[in-house]
Structure 1
Amino acid sequence: MKSPRPYTPATGPGPKSLTERRKAATQLDIARAACALFAERGPDGTTAEDIALGAGVALRTFYRYFRSKQDAVAPLLARGGDEWRALLEAADPAEPLREVLEEAVRQALTVGPEGEEALRWTRGLLRAAASDPALRAVWYRVNQDSEERLVPVLARLAGPGADPLDVRLLAAAATDAIRIALELWAAGEDDATGPGSPVDLALRALTRLTASLPLLTP
């Protein structure tokens, strides 16, 4: 079974201890196994025992970290958001904010051969979520958390005089642009690159959702 690395739509605190890193690694192993099984069998055809076996851990270890089989995919979904925000955290506040956002979208969603496989796993996972309310709730929860963590990142880029309302609206719009792009792409048959790809859809969505936001107007 190959290990998927789904993308979704604030990097965490400073350096982690060895215990925290081991815990995070175990969670990711479980998440990869869960994602692979959901994409292959669907949530109904997968049990927590199946996921634990696929990850090479005891069932009690699975439940130490996750309340349900659907919750197990959250760490992988969250990684995409972490990578997207890291690109924005590294950006120069002196650069035009719209250009910074668009470039971050391009870098986050433009993929090579390995990334295309990861997006195919994402497609399978989001298709499974369409018919599984619990899995869909995890997807929405991860996106909501990502949006909240994006606010201080955008506030820094927007500068001290930015209206907090505009910053919140931009965080919501940017998060939704990527979420909607991935959902629409997952529901169709377009390739991971070119017209109709996640990056193409996300850039189009970002433009339309932010067209009237003062922070992005010249």
Structure 2
Amino acid sequence: MHARAVQAAGRPSLAERRKEALRFEIAAEAVRLFAEHGVTGTTGEQIARAVGISSRTLWRHFPSKESCVLPLLSAGLDFAVAQLRHWPADMGLLDFVSRSLRAGELPAVAPVILDLIRMTTSDPALRAVWLQAHDDALPVLAQLLAERSGGSADDLRTKVHAATINGALRAASEDFARRYAQEPGAAGSEIATCLLVALRAASEGLPY
């Protein structure tokens, strides 16, 4: 009964947590192998072997070797969306982000994620997975903005605003990964700078 109550309250079940942990382990090994051998030089069987699972299990979780990295690419977006859910109704976006960043410095980003984001800029297949992660986040952002404004997530204006925030998050991530390629210990202050610059540019609108 307790397990059912916890699950009903929104906490993932033990099986779901184990599944998620395995997906992240697969993603980390995939990035390591991609970095060592290239994407084309790596097979799904090699990724499965590195994790210690069968190829059948791997393909049960992911449809392609490139999609194995999706959990790592989605993690940052999931974090950003979770933070935006605490955005006060009487506060502008830039003020909220600035306040949030001052309240607690972001942790250093794992080098494996920076390696992966850099690879997405040169490998078409990984680029497609990176763009998929952002595309998956779009309706979530649109719904969040719609709830805030009292409008509809299907409204074109809402969709454009969601796409603008989404694009700013992607541009900030790529800029951070490029600028701090040789600094694996880059911390939250550097991430915050990239994020605020991107969101400020988005909030300015089109000056053309």
Same fold, judged at TM 0.5 (above): yes
Determine the structure 2 residue equivalent to 1:127.
Answer: 118
For the residue of structure 1 that corresponds to 2:53, the secondary structure is coil
The correspondence of residues 125-204 of structure 1 with structure 2, limited to 5 A, is 125-157=116-148, 159-160=149-150, 164-189=155-180, 191=183, 192-193=186-187, 197-204=190-197
**What SS does the aligned partner of 2:70 have?**
helix
Contact 1:85/1:150, CA 8 A, preserved across alignment: yes
Listed as ranges, the gaps of 5+ residues in structure 1 are: 1-12, 214-218
Match of 1:94 in 2: 90
Q: Does 1:208 align with 2:201?
A: yes
1:86-119 superposed Cα distances (whole Å, 9 cap, x missing partner):
1111233233343224445x38x9544xx24x1x
Give the partner amino acid of 1:57: I
1:33 aligned partner: 29
CA contact (8 A) 1:155 1:162 kept: yes
Quick one: which amino acid aligns to residue 207 of structure 1?
A: R
Tell me whether 1:62 sits opposite 2:58 in the alignment.
Answer: yes
Residue 6 of structure 2 corresponds to: none
Structure 1 residues 102, 155: closer, same or farther in 2, change over 3 A? farther
Residue aligned with 1:22, SS: helix
Contact 1:39-1:121 within 8 A present in 2 as well: no
1:21 aligned to 17, 20, 23, which one? 17
Distance 1:165 1:97, change over 3 A: farther
Q: Which runs of 5+ in 2 are unaligned?
A: 1-8
Read off the aligned partner of 1:205 and give its amino acid letter: A
Deviation at 1:21, TM superposition (A): 2.9
Cα offset for 1:161? 5.7
d(CA) in 2 for partners of 1:187 and 1:95?
Answer: 31
- Quick check: which has more Rg, 1 or 2? 2
> CA separation in 2, counterparts of 1:129 and 1:208?
23
What is the aligned-residue RMSD (CA, Å)? 2.9
Which residue, out of 65, 80, 86, partners 1:84?
A: 80
Structure 1 counterpart of 2:43, from 41, 47, 53: 47
For the Cα contact (< 8 Å) 2:28–2:112, is it kept in 1? no
Secondary structure at 1:167's aligned position in 2? helix
**How many corresponding residue pairs?**
193
Identity of aligned residues (%): 36
